[in-house]
Chain A
Amino acid sequence: MVKTRGLSKYYTFGSGNQVVALKGVNLTVANGEFVSIMGPSGSGKSTLLNIVGCLDKPTAGDVYIDDVKIDYGNAGNLVQLHRQTMGFVFQGFNLISTMNAIENVWYPMYFNKVPKPERIKRAEELLESVGLRDRTLHLPSELSGGEQQRVSIARALANRPRLILADEPTGNIDSRTGKKIIDLMKKLNKEQGITFIVTTHDKAMANNADRVITITDGEIVD
């Protein structure tokens, strides 16, 4: 599903100082795999996720999705990947504050040109599946952290992606709620065969993964 070859990322600051975020990372994630990436803060795990998620560009190296090399210079290509292949779940939920739950869920389908009735139907189903059928008209500020994260998972599922990239999805919620989120993600992985790449500090998350990868100083340790 995902393959990186010699993936490197350097940040050069105005002062001329260079920070290495990723150093020649080779990673292969199989179709339907649930992979956890662990590592201390600043180890480069978020950078890796952002590059695989086409939000950031690598300094060197390549990323392949289904054996097709991502052309980071082709904005249209990146947009298509966002719309059709991958979904994001963030640590800070990143819901749009002026939109209620169901609108947040159908918003990715709006950009994917899905007709409105179909969009609303699917958003309702998705909210149902994450157990938030009765919260559809609530604004993010009216939802608890766990509820917000479930809305954002529903949103990530909107365009039926085959890959979900989650950046510390349980980082901002208590461990009991975090457990529910992990269970939900595992269930999606098992039942729908969606590939998950999840960065985390959470041992519970790592324990549920098919494979745990540890990154330190921009390099995969084991």
Chain B
Amino acid sequence: MSGGLRIALPGGALFADACRLLTEAGVAEVDPARFERQLRVTAGEVTLATMRPTDVPVYVEMGACDAGIVGKDILWEQTRDCYELVDLHFGACRLVLAAPEGSPLAEGRFPQSLRAATKYPVAARRFFDSRGLAAELIKLHGSVELAPAMGLADCVVDITATGRTLTANHLVEVAEAGRSSARLIANQASLKTRSDAVNRLAAALRRTVTAAAVAGAAG
């Protein structure tokens, strides 16, 4: 149904849900097991490629893929010229400002100088700027919650789905800085030159996630 489209899929946490959604939407029968031995799989008329989530917008912007599935949190951090077409609703998580229990910040008082550790410097900068707060950002690549415990930073700006990691590290949420979920993105030229196929893909995914949301609300 989606004639010859090349779709980029994020490896990692969103991968299984992305495969399931494409299958349920009737775009292609996608068996995640097929990706164990290869990164590129042809399913029906579509070609699927799996990659690190941060690389999905790169493949789509450069036209190596027509469309892709990627978390909004990845899109915050990259300036990529892609169309963001549909909120796919899975992979939901929040970007929060969190501080150690008992710290002034955790009690709602913003210190004059603030060091924040984050994997999301662009979104964190936008958050602090929008509230007129001066914060020095420290970009880390993993386990951000370690930074306050070791005295590297006063607080963190990080993604949380359940809040468990924060609690386990004695961090309390101070403010929400953003909400993320998986998105369907498309290359600007593909949207114009293969608009029928891209629009059909978007409509099928939208229908499926809407139906799932309705069923979820009813159940």
**Are A and B part of the same complex?**
no
B residues lining the A interface (CB < 8 Å): none
